[in-house]
Amino acid sequence: MIVEFLLFAVLAALGTWRARRYALSRALVDEPGERRSHSVATPRGGGIAIVAVVVLGCVLALFRGQAPVLPLLAFAAGMVAIALVGWLDDHRPLSARARFAVHVLASALFAAAWLAETGSWAAATVAFGAGIALTNVWNFMDGINGIAASQAACVAAAVLVVGVDGWALVALAVAAGCVGFLPFNFPGAQIFMGDVGSGALGFALAMLTAVAVSDRDSASTAMLALALSAFLIDAALTLLRRVIRGEQWWTPHTQHAYQVCARRWGHAPVTISYCAWAVLSVLIARRVGAGPPAVMGGVIAAWYISGVVLWLWLQRAGAGRLRMDPTVTKD
């Protein structure tokens, strides 16, 4: 597995370097603005390298006979479809409805394949719902240097710890692809992931999570629920607040807690803090994994409540600092 990890990471790094050259040649650049968290024009679309590496992982898993063929093909096809619509959106903005329709179709495709494989409507429903949710969560949360790729690597690592029969090579490709991409995106950003990468990465994590929790013990579910908590809490609460305010929640903004924190403390400390939260959550899940389901349910509830309280405090502290100090600017 070490050899495959290094291969995937190196290929992702080379692909990101090539994607940067392509983006610069085509003027695919994100300009700074009120709805952005960066102050320097930066090329986008580097996430295509991660997608290519994950597809390679699927091909290798297919030839080795490690994963069920139909779900694996549906996984690859769905991810490529989401990456393609993201790639088109990176070149020329598409409507939110068109992108969402592709997300639904890709999730439905895998859910149908997973239903055929497992015979479980519950497992298929989890796959469908997770696909739509995490595809958009990762798109929403890809707003500062390194945060989307590092969180994805943490979640993919948690999937590997949980164990995914036949899918380990795919999860390894996700983690390694993110590691290969990160030097170009963190701590300073030479290129952004773009919609081509964020949506496809969220979809890949959703499907791997659905596979990992199918017919497994509650400890596995607890570990992945906690590993995803940072992004789920920030995305859900920010979305809820925007809906309550009557805002166009699907449009770009800088209201997430990680964006508020980045304006105050900078991108790198925030990304590292989110990683620390994910790692700590996995360690806690492993610690309580042998306990009864009621205990694990209580731990999950307590962890998410703590995250909600922290989100509220960060939003208030960050907003207060900006009101008091008008010289604070975006990184």
**Is 254 contained in some domain?**
yes
**Is 84 contained in some domain?**
yes
Joined tokens for residue 267: 């991108």
- 193 contacts 260 by C-beta, under 8 angstroms: no
- 199 contacts 103 by C-beta, under 8 angstroms: yes
Per the structure, the count of domains in the chain is 1
**Is 329 contained in some domain?**
no
**Is 190 contained in some domain?**
yes
Q: What is the DSSP string of 106-119?
A: HHHHHHHHHHHHH-
Domain extent for 245: 2-324
**Is 330 contained in some domain?**
no
Q: Is 195 annotated as a binding residue?
A: yes
Q: Which H or E run includes 43?
A: strand 42-43
The phi and psi torsions of 214 (rounded to 5 degrees) equal: -70, 125
Per-residue pLDDT tens listing for the chain (331 residues) = 899 999 999 999 999 999 999 999 998 887 775 656 566 788 999 999 999 999 999 999 999 988 899 999 999 999 999 999 999 999 998 988 999 999 999 999 999 999 999 999 999 999 999 999 999 999 999 989 999 999 999 999 999 988 888 899 999 999 999 999 999 999 988 999 999 999 999 999 999 999 998 866 667 788 899 999 999 999 999 999 999 998 887 777 888 999 999 888 889 999 999 999 999 998 888 877 667 778 888 889 999 999 999 999 988 876 655 443 333 333 3
**Is 63 contained in some domain?**
yes
pTM for the model stands at: 0.91
- For the stretch 73-111, what's the b/e string if a residue is b when 16 or more beta carbons lie within 10 angstroms of its beta carbon? bbbbbbbbbbbebbbbbbbeeeeeeebeebbeebbbbbb
Q: Is 139 annotated as a binding residue?
A: yes
Nearest to 166 by CA among 286, 309, 58: 58
